[in-house]
Amino acid sequence: MVYFRTINAWVGLALLLALSSCEKFLPPDPGGENVLEGPLDGLTPSQNNQFLKGDALFSKIYTPQEGLGPIFIQNSCVGCHTVGGKGIPANLVTRFAFKNGNNYDYLLEEGGPQHQTNAISNYSTELIPEKANVFTKRLPPAVTGFGYIAAIHDSLILSWEDSSDTNSDGISGRASYVIPRNNFTPQLIHIERDGKYLARFGKKASKIRLIDQVAFALKEDIGITNDFEPYDLYNYKTGVQSVDAIADPEVTSAVLQNLVFYLRTLKSPPRRNENDPDVLAGEQLFSAIGCISCHRPSFKTAKSDIEQLSEKEFAPYSDFLLHDMGAGLDDGFTEGAATSFEWRTAPLWGIGLASSSQGGKKYFLHDGRASSIEEAVSYHGGEAASRKNAFLKLSPEDKEKVVKFVESL
Amino acid sequence: MLYLLLLIIYSSSVFAQGDTSIAREAIYNRPFIGGNTGNMASGGYAEGNTNYFATDGVSEGFSMELRRFNLFLYSPVTSHIKFLSELEFEHGTEEINIETAMIDFRIFPDFSFRGGILLTPVGDFNINHDSPKWDMINRPLAATDIVPSTLSEVGFGIFGNLFPWNARITYYLYLLNGLGENVIHNEEGKTLLRAGKSGEMLGEDNNGVPMGNARISINFPLLGELGISWYGGAYNTFKKDGLDIDKKRNLHLGSLYYQREFFQRVTLNGEVSRVWIDVPAEAGENYGNRQWGYFLDMIFAVKKGKMGRLENARLNIFMRSEFVDFNEGKFILSREHKFDELYALSGGISFFPIPGTVLRMNYRWHWEYDLPGNLSRTGGFQVGLASYF
């Protein structure tokens, strides 16, 4: 009887524990405003389900049996874009080309434009062709808020365009118009110019649509072929057609679409401390010294098939135009319509949470060379030189306020 | 869970009168094996538990799992030949394995030959892993993610006991098919010895070069038991149809364990293990070429002996500290520390109404760092039952 009473006591204790507020003893929610990842608020249950499918694919680790490689950089999306944020210097990717005068040959027939540093078992990694003479290194970007960026009408971005600096403010942003892929079908948000379309994704704004970016990354980063990029990577030193053993495309169109849906429905990076007096003062200074000429806060999405992205105001702190950033940031590499010294204005939203995906450290700019916001500003040149100088002339207290404001984004 | 509860109640009433105190090798130290000769005996154990965990405030809620249902068959064919097998069902029929199927030939009193599907004696947990023997519900991370318990392989070898200076020395020396090349490029994206286990290796080695395994332990009645072991050899397929397709790549796993009971009240049980592995440079930096981990269990017997009608019951409180580093070293490019580490602390209460049957309640908290060093925290409660039958 004692034995049974003991068992009853245990079961009772277990139930009591289950019924009591166990949550007090569990790791707390850090709060939505402190994390980059998460879905848009207000998605329907079926949209949440779709989001989770994409989330699982984004976290999925590919194996050689599933098509990884044969040469690759990472074995998953999340390997570079940890918790949806920016990567770390260990994940820098290298792109290369052969520059002859003003002409760039991306060496597509010799493994270009991206260097795959890793390979599956019994295969050798890519060697950069000896012919290559220009190289650039890129930090993996944050992916949160992509849905908003994808839903901007071209006309809104073009309204900021001023390539001839007609308003004489020293800023001459120009839209990045590129030739679309063969399968491109324009949507209502797109405005054509001489057979070209406005590109808004990528550090040099070379991709028109999110799906172009995802398909490129699947192939060039993971070695996963798909409907948009159906031919496998291989090491030209090993021999052409020395591909892996998996039939192409290695993922279905559903995988591609679910990944795109996931990226579209990731929430925008949350603001923090936005009512802090120093942050509010910093916001005023940010505007007063002209940072806002490129890092623009006011955007509104066009109509979207996803209600939560339809005609919504948001603040990316970018104009999605190309700007001359000067010799200090000239990486010697062109992409899309951008010259080597031109960069798409980096959206500043989420910059205050960058360290949450970078192991508590901070790596800013396209190659992670800056470890603080002040240092990142100090690399600004070209069109941004006057704004940088204005920032540097601020008192230490005012600089601190501007930094606090930027960190609140 | 109800089935398991009934099973435990039934089996407890059977074993309450049994003698389980005979000092034997861990795999023979199971209640259903009564003596050294006789007819075939069958037995087994089952374990199940509840889970309620949350990671950074997000919980999947409450769930129950039947972790294992294992069946043993044992036959002392003669006084010198013994047969033991274990068939394991994990999570129902999700995974079914022959964990052990081996024959022992005792050639001399202190020297035996063993062959078949063997539990690899690396560390102590792998050959002493039956859930009803343990206070914690979860297996130690260092014993599952560094030492890939349960590691059972086809092979043969020798083992025995020596008894000098009032001590007991146990030795093992085995040759085994070993692990395969999925220790890298696996679904977890990190070097993981347990991913190199494969059912196919029960039929044929992947590279024609067996792995070796050796363990020696010494037990002094007053000082406890200390054991050291090594396991290693080539893990990749480097030759096919007579052609070289890769260089031969080796892995080595070393393990040190110590166990001792103090004042018949406090038990310390710890194991530290390290992996050295030749990872091809082209696999990338996600795959560590050195790993290590440890666990330390501290168990305090609050009450033991007669409790009501239970003649040999025990009530314990315990704590476990554990750590695993999946990827030692620094990134080549940035020279920054590679994390991919896990720290865990657990504690709880366990009640053994009889030896071989345990009801236990655990609270666990672990801190997990991904490769760049971003932290996630997981914590939760478990209540579980496990029993031999």
The pLDDT value given to residue A9: 65
Q: Cβ B383–A90 below 8 Å, yes or no?
A: no
* pLDDT 10s digits, A304-331: 999 999 999 999 999 999 999 999 999 9
Q: How far apart are CA A282 and CA A400, in angstroms?
A: 8
The first and second tokens of residue B260, run together, are 């001792």
Q: Of A227 and B33, which is predicted with more confidence?
A: A227
**What CATH code is carried by the domain that includes residue B376?**
2.40.160.10
> Measured at the alpha carbon of residue B239, what is the angle toward residues B235 and B243, in degrees to the nearest 5?
165
**In 3D, which of A55, A59, A56 has the Cα closest to residue A77?**
A59
The A residues from 8 to 27 touching B (CB cutoff 8 Å) are: 10, 13-14, 17-18, 22-23, 25-27
* Helices assigned H by DSSP within A234-327: 253-264, 277-288
| Chain-chain contact of B285 with A90 (C-beta, under 8 angstroms) | yes
Average model confidence (pLDDT) across chain A = 92
Calpha distance A148→A170 (Å, rounded): 28
pLDDT tens string A147-192: 999 999 999 999 999 999 999 999 999 999 999 988 899 999 999 9
CA distance B80 to B245: 45
Using the Cβ of B60 and the Cβ atoms of chain A, whether some distance falls under 8 Å is answered with: no
Range 232-271 of B in CB contact (< 8 A) with A = 236-237, 245-246
> How close does chain A come to B160, measured CA to CA in Å?
39
Model confidence at A222, in pLDDT bands (50, 70, 90)?
Answer: very high
**pLDDT number for residue B10:** 43
Element (H, E) at A149: helix A146-150
Is A357 touching B (CB cutoff 8 A)? yes
Residue B273's domain comprises 2-388
User: Are A357 and B283 an interchain contact pair (Cβ–Cβ within 8 Å)?
Assistant: no
Q: Would you kindly state where each structural domain of chain A is located, as residue ranges?
A: 2-34, 45-264, 277-407
Q: How far apart are CA A56 and CA A44, in angstroms?
A: 18
List the beta bridge partners of residue A364.
A370
Specify the 3-state DSSP secondary structure of A385. Answer: helix
pLDDT category at B334 given cuts 50, 70, 90 is confident
Closest chain A residue to the Cα of B364, Cα to Cα:
A26
Please say whether the beta carbons of A168 and A292 come within 8 A: no
- Quick check: B283 and A121 CB within 8 A? yes
Residues of B in contact with A7 (CB under 8 A): 5, 9, 359
- Enumerate the residues of chain B whose CB falls inside 8 A of the CB of residue A26: 53-54, 57, 59, 379-380
Which CATH code for domain A277-407?
1.10.760.10
- Please tell me which of the candidates A30, A359, A361 has its beta carbon nearest to residue B56: A30
Pairing of strands B341-354, B310-325: antiparallel
What is the distance between the alpha carbons of residues B99 and B78, in angstroms, rounded to a whole number? 23
DSSP state letter for A113: S
Nearest-angstrom CA–CA distance, A331 and A279: 33
Vertex B158: Cα angle to B155 and B163 (nearest 5): 150
Confidence at residue A7, expressed as pLDDT on a 0 to 100 scale: 59
Q: Is B309 on the interface with A (CB under 8 A)?
A: yes
Residues of A in contact with B282 (CB under 8 A): 118-119, 123-125
Tell me which range, B8-22, B34-48, B190-204, B227-241, is most confidently predicted by mean pLDDT.
Answer: B227-241
Tokens 């039952």 sit at which residue?
B385
Rounded Cα–Cα distance for residues A206 and A334 (Å): 10
pLDDT in tens, A41-61: 999 999 999 999 999 999 999
Å between B140 CA and nearest CA of chain A: 20
Determine whether the interchain pair A356/B309 forms a contact, defined as Cβ–Cβ distance below 8 Å: no
Extract the runs of DSSP E, i.e. beta strands, from A292-349. 299-300, 313-314, 322-324, 342-344
Q: Which amino acid is at A11?
A: V
Spatial CA neighbour of B98 closest among B111, B85, B108: B85
CB atoms within 10 A of CB B316: 20
Tokens standing for residue A120: 């599956």
pLDDT digits (tens, 9 = 90+) for A117-128: 999 988 888 999
Using DSSP, state whether A329 is helix, strand or coil.
Answer: helix
**Torsion angles phi and psi, residue A370, rounded to 5:** -95, 135
- What is the C-alpha separation between A329 and B297, in angstroms, rounded? 55
Bridge-based pairing of strands B266-277 and B239-240 is: unpaired
SS3 A384: helix
Q: Check: CB of residue B200 under 8 Å from CB of residue B207.
A: no
Distance CA A345, CA A325 (A): 9
Task: Look up residue A396 and give its two tokens.
Answer: 């230490």
Region B187-198 average pLDDT: 94
Count of domains for chain B: 1
| Phi, psi angle pair for A331, to nearest 5° | -100, 5
Chain A interface, best mutation among B185, B192, B200, by max A CB count within 10 A = B185
B278 interfacial to chain A (CB closer than 8 Å): no
Instruction: Tell me the C-alpha distance between A76 and A67, whole Å.
Output: 12
- Integer angstrom CA distances of residue B49 from B129, B364, B384: 17, 14, 4
Q: Are A370 and A399 in contact (CB under 8 A)?
A: no
| Contact assignment for B361 to A10 by CB distance below 8 Å | yes
Q: How many Å apart are CA B182 and CA B142, to the nearest integer?
A: 19
